Chain A
Amino acid sequence: MASSFQSQKRFTRMWNVITHCLLLAGTVLMVAPFVWMLSTSLKTEGNIFTPLPEWLPRQTFTYVVLDGVKTMVDTVVVENENGRSQVRIRGRAEAVDVPASAVVKETRIAPAWENYKEVVDTVPFFQGVRNTLLITLIGLIGGLFTTSLSAYAFAKLRFPGRDALFYAILGTMMIPGVVTMLPTFILFRQAGWINTFRPLIVPALFGGAWGIFLMRQHMKTIPDELEDASRIDGCNPFQTWWKLMMPLCKPVLATLGIFGFMGGWNDFMGPLIYLNDPSKFTLQLLLASFSSYYSTKTNLLMAGSMMSLIPVLVLFFAAQRYFVQGITLTGVKR
């Protein structure tokens, strides 16, 4: 008996080691592409094309050493002209004539933060951010309003046909988006809404089937007695919704809000269909369009991608438990 217990213990320990190795290896594989993105985004153009992968960004700097004083050089104007060079020293407007031997090149690890500045300077990056935020937030806030109101009606109010209507709305989740995509495009085109934000905002304002389902489930768990008390206090259903239901629904609202924000921030196909004026581009559309513009400047492309990820990554780590909660709710289990 004792030996079997011991062998089981040894077995468990062995498995724990294997498990940790597996998970760690997986973690490296998951994170490596992101680290590669970050590292590329901080490389200079000349430093991207090394024969072997370099994980740390290096830069080559040029200095002039005169009388033991090292000064950084911005550009070398003319090289090796009778053994002399013309260089433009940082902070000085005119070129300086120095012996070629005084010009020293030095390669060291240094992130090229200026890549990020260059992206922001050459493409309307912040305009893209503004457009994305405008579309996402208006749709999200309006959508949460209608979604929670109707979820409340479906969960707590009594009216004929309530459950049939609820299942009709749930049924819309069955319609594959691909079938309604083209006619919806044609409808909006007919309405003259192409190249405006309206096709991206207005449908969201009507509320989403998935959100209604999720919120109704949550509201069903709130005791009816609380609602009765609110009615006795003289609240009409709208006031009950606002004063009682909304505060009690904060976790669901947060979950839906976070997922809605992520969905809006990362949406690609919607803006691709409806927007064609670059000044109206969302961030994702901008990113995709400057991939051809920057096809040779991978470092800048990665800098742009990195910047587009930062807000969602911050949100993700700040609200991690809501993500996991939300994911579990979308699964087979409650």
Chain B
Amino acid sequence: MADGPVSRRSVKRGAMARREALWGYLFVTPPLLGFLIFGFIPILMSLALAFAKWDMFRPPRFAGVSNFARIGADEIVAKSFVNTLVFFIGVPIGMALSLLLALALNRKIRGINWYRAIYYLPAVSSMVAIALLWQWIFNPEKGLLNMELLKLGVKGPEWLQDPLWVKPALILMGVWGGLGPNLILFLAGLQGVPQSLYEAASIDGAKPWQQFLYVTWPMLTPTTFFISVMGAIGAFQYFGQIYIMTQGGPEHASTSYMFYLWQQAFTYYRMGYASALAWVLGIIIIGVTIVQFRVANRWVFYETV
């Protein structure tokens, strides 16, 4: 008798919970559907395509591992992969510069918001506009860069038209454009270093550079690693600037892996081969990302100290 009302209440609570669950499922349906349609199904299709030959006009044919074998034998793939790795040089250069800038801004500097905004400017600008602007700056005869070099008595190279100079030119532009976001990440990292660590270090008699080496730098390594991994993922998929500025030339000297993949898919309609290329790149990126997550986990542990 005594548990009558209790059980009735629990029935009511059960109905409420069921209703809440229904609302919940309703609300999460769109992203789950999106995941299915734009994530899961394409992944399966892509995997199937990587083992097929298909030009989108005739029906696809099963091709075994021939696409992957072809990647190994394709000299331009090798060249574009090396090019992509060379573009990576910009990542550490950009990181060193933005760390330097972040250290400068972390001192009680007047106008910090202004500096932050100005360095962040390229990151909000459209890649197309930036690429067109730098194409003009790199113009051999009338571009800003060579004209300024001429003032110093140096005859500049033909930048984007020179196989030797096209990569340094693109790296220069990439470093310029990437400073802002990295700077802000480093600044966030720096501001998260507890002041007590510096006080403790200075009581122990640590000089400023020792404080940097033994306090700041260790505390920044997770940020540094995060930026380097994100930078690498971005650099792997370097495409738009190449498409607009050089079309991979001259002599494939600026062909990035992603640009080559794009050409295979949308210029030559080799969907199977392009899919195989995509999978190779995708696996590399996932590998890098897994490393990132591992290190991020270690970082969470440090942060709670």
B-binding residues in A (CB < 8 A)? 11, 15-16, 19-20, 22-23, 26-27, 29-34, 36-37, 40, 48-49, 51-53, 146-147, 149-150, 152-154, 157-160, 162, 165, 168-169, 172, 174-187, 189, 203, 205-209, 212, 236-238, 241, 262, 265-266, 268-269, 272-273, 284, 287-288, 291, 298, 301-302, 305-306, 308-309, 312-313, 315-317, 320, 323-324, 327-328, 331-333
A-B contact count (CB 8 A): 272
CB A26 to nearest CB in B, in angstroms, measures 6
Known A36-B137, A268-B128: A180·B39 in contact at CB below 8 Å: yes
Q: Are A320 and B117 in contact (CB under 8 A)?
A: yes
Residues in A neighbouring B142, C-beta threshold 8 A: 48-49, 298
Known A182-B271, A187-B41, A302-B133: A273·B223 in contact at CB below 8 Å: no
- Interface-facing stretch out of B66-74, B82-90, B159-167, B185-193: B185-193
Q: Does B282 contact A (CB under 8 A)?
A: yes
Most buried by B among A30, A49, A237: A30
Q: Are B100 and A183 in contact (CB under 8 A)?
A: no
CB A75 to nearest CB in B, in angstroms, measures 26
- B18-58: contact bitstring with A at CB < 8 Å (1 yes, 0 no)? 00111111011011111101110111011001000000100
A-binding residues in B (CB < 8 A)? 17, 20-25, 27-28, 30-35, 37-39, 41-43, 45-46, 49, 56, 100-101, 104-105, 107, 109, 113, 115-122, 124-129, 132-137, 139, 142, 144, 147-148, 150-151, 176, 179, 181, 184-185, 188-189, 192, 208, 222-223, 226, 233, 237, 239-240, 243-244, 258, 261, 265-266, 271, 274-275, 278-279, 281-282, 285-286, 289, 296, 299, 303
When chains A and B are docked, how far (Å) is the Cα of A269 from the Cα of B242? 12
Residues in B neighbouring A160, C-beta threshold 8 A: 21
CB A332 to nearest CB in B, in angstroms, measures 5
When chains A and B are docked, how far (Å) is the Cα of A33 from the Cα of B119? 12
When chains A and B are docked, how far (Å) is the Cα of A325 from the Cα of B281? 32
Q: Are A206 and B176 in contact (CB under 8 A)?
A: no
When chains A and B are docked, how far (Å) is the Cα of A7 from the Cα of B229? 41
Residues in B neighbouring A180, C-beta threshold 8 A: 38-39, 42-43, 46
Q: Are A157 and B133 in contact (CB under 8 A)?
A: no
Task: Give the secondary structure class of A's interface.
Answer: helix
Known A165-B32, A175-B39: A33·B21 in contact at CB below 8 Å: no
Inter-chain pairs besides A288-B132, A308-B129, 6 sampled, C-beta below 8 Å: A20-B109, A23-B104, A49-B142, A187-B42, A266-B126, A332-B299
Q: Are A308 and B189 in contact (CB under 8 A)?
A: no
CB A214 to nearest CB in B, in angstroms, measures 13
Q: Are B129 and A320 in contact (CB under 8 A)?
A: no
Q: Are A23 and B101 in contact (CB under 8 A)?
A: yes
Q: Are A159 and B24 in contact (CB under 8 A)?
A: yes
When chains A and B are docked, how far (Å) is the Cα of A327 from the Cα of B148? 34
Known A176-B281, A179-B278: A309·B125 in contact at CB below 8 Å: yes
Q: Are B20 and A237 in contact (CB under 8 A)?
A: yes
Residues in A neighbouring B226, C-beta threshold 8 A: 331-332
Q: Are B35 and A168 in contact (CB under 8 A)?
A: yes
Q: Are B261 and A34 in contact (CB under 8 A)?
A: no
Our pick among A179, A208, A332 for the contact of B43 (Cβ within 8 Å) is A179
CB B180 to nearest CB in A, in angstroms, measures 8
Our pick among A189, A206, A262, A327 for the contact of B184 (Cβ within 8 Å) is A327
When chains A and B are docked, how far (Å) is the Cα of A162 from the Cα of B26? 12
Closest to B101 in A: A26
Q: Are B129 and A305 in contact (CB under 8 A)?
A: yes
When chains A and B are docked, how far (Å) is the Cα of A181 from the Cα of B286? 16
Q: Are B237 and A19 in contact (CB under 8 A)?
A: no
Most buried by A among B28, B121, B122: B28
Q: Are B188 and A333 in contact (CB under 8 A)?
A: yes
CB B49 to nearest CB in A, in angstroms, measures 7
Q: Are B119 and A26 in contact (CB under 8 A)?
A: yes
Closest to B129 in A: A305
Q: Are B278 and A181 in contact (CB under 8 A)?
A: yes
Q: Are B136 and A324 in contact (CB under 8 A)?
A: no
- Listed A/B pairs (22) with beta-carbon separation below 8 Å: A20-B109, A40-B136, A149-B27, A157-B20, A165-B28, A169-B31, A172-B35, A179-B42, A180-B39, A183-B42, A184-B38, A185-B265, A207-B30, A208-B31, A237-B20, A291-B244, A305-B128, A316-B117, A320-B113, A331-B226, A332-B299, A333-B188
CB A50 to nearest CB in B, in angstroms, measures 8
When chains A and B are docked, how far (Å) is the Cα of A209 from the Cα of B109? 37
Known A26-B101, A40-B136: A162·B24 in contact at CB below 8 Å: yes
Residues in B neighbouring A179, C-beta threshold 8 A: 42-43, 46, 278-279, 281-282
Q: Are B265 and A29 in contact (CB under 8 A)?
A: no
